[in-house]
Amino acid sequence: MSVDAWIAVAVTLGCLGALALTRIAADLIMIAGLTVLLVLGVLSPAEALAGFANPGVLTIAALYVVAAGLRETGAVNVLVRYLFGRPSNVAVAQLRMMLPATFLSAFMNNTPVVATFLPAVQDWAKRQQISLSKLMIPLSYAAILGGTCTLIGTSTNLIVDGLLISRAHSPGFGFFQLTILGVPYAIVGLAYIIIAGRWL
């Protein structure tokens, strides 16, 4: 391997170690790694900044703004009050929480959906005297399952779409092209969590 390749491997391992062993914010660690590669000449400025011009990355950034808007306007609290309600048991609580999270995740991107729901779900669980440990993983999985249903539902879909357009000279995915596979997966996944979750 070339010297540049060894430097890239060392920076990658350094970033992974910093992510695993420190409390430094992940975005700072990633930017620091990118800066090191840029300063050492492993990447050209155009290569270093190419990811920021990717339409998928820009779409993800825009969806974080939408999620922040929902949180700051109190829309999520209204959703929690009317849709989550007063469940009779943990399975009903999980279902009431997962259905809206899955639906929103199909149209908003799963990471900001989870970030938006977390404080509201914590308050709701406390009011309903439900163990938070019974809700956090189902919330995350529901958002992941919802994200498989549309093009913008998950960062992975957007990145792959961007690669298809730039590398394969393809028109990319249609917005609902993944729905035919995503919806059945989401239904089966939610059913599995509700049915098997009590033993996991």
User: Is residue 173 pLDDT above 80, yes or no?
Assistant: yes
Residue 149: per-residue pLDDT: 92
State pTM to two decimals: 0.70
pLDDT of residue 56: 66
Give which of 126, 129, 102 is closest to 113, Cα–Cα. Answer: 102
Calculate ∠ Cα 198-179-187, nearest 5°. 20
Name the region of 74 (left: φ>0; alpha: ψ -120 to 50; beta: rest).
left
Q: What is the pLDDT of residues 156-166, one digit of tens each?
A: 888 888 888 87
Give the angle subtended at the CA of 200 by the CAs of 148 and 139, to the nearest 5°.
40
Looking at residue 141, its pLDDT comes to 94
φ/ψ of 40, rounded to 5, equals: -80, 0
At residue 192, does pLDDT exceed 90? yes
97-127 per-position pLDDT tens digit: 999 999 989 988 788 888 888 888 888 888 8
Rounded Cα distance between 5 and 33, Å, is 14
